[in-house]
Amino acid sequence: IFDEAHNVQDVAMDNMSFEFRGQWFLHATQALVQASQTVPSRGTEVAPAPGTLNELTNALLKAADFFSKFPAPKSDDLILPGSELNKFFAAIGISRDNQLPTKFVFDYALSVLSTSKSSNRTLTNRLQLVANLFRVLLSLSEEEVSRDFCLVIHSDSSKDQTSAPHVSKGWEDQSKRSEVPNDPRVSIWSMNPGLVMNEIVRMGVRSVVFTSGTLCPISTMASEMRMNFDISLENSHVVSKDQIMVGVLPK
Residues 5 and 32 in one domain: no
Residues 232 and 184 in one domain: no
Nearest to 29 by CA among 118, 126, 111: 126
- Asked if residues 150 and 197 have their Cβ atoms less than 8 Å apart, the reply is no
Asked if residue 244 is part of any domain, the answer here is: no
Domain region containing 35? 19-161+169-191
Asked if residue 245 is part of any domain, the answer here is: no
* Residue 214 C-alpha from the chain's centroid: 29
Asked if residue 250 is part of any domain, the answer here is: no
Nearest to 69 by CA among 56, 88, 95, 52: 88
What span, in angstroms and rounded, lies between the C-alpha atoms of 46 and 50? 12
Residues 103 and 8 in one domain: no
Asked if residue 70 is part of any domain, the answer here is: yes
Asked if residue 24 is part of any domain, the answer here is: yes
Under 8 Å CB-to-CB from 242, ≥6 apart: which residues?
Answer: none
Residues 133 and 83 in one domain: yes
Mean pLDDT along residues 91-118: 87
What span, in angstroms and rounded, lies between the C-alpha atoms of 98 and 21? 25
Asked if residue 123 is part of any domain, the answer here is: yes
Residues 224 and 182 in one domain: no
Residues 46 and 140 in one domain: yes
What's the domain count of the chain?
A: 2
pTM of the model: 0.74
Residues 233 and 135 in one domain: no
Mean pLDDT along residues 83-105: 90
Asked if residue 248 is part of any domain, the answer here is: no
pLDDT digits (tens, 9 = 90+) for 238-248: 777 788 888 89
pLDDT digits (tens, 9 = 90+) for 193-221: 888 877 777 788 888 888 887 777 777 77
pLDDT digits (tens, 9 = 90+) for 44-55: 567 777 788 889
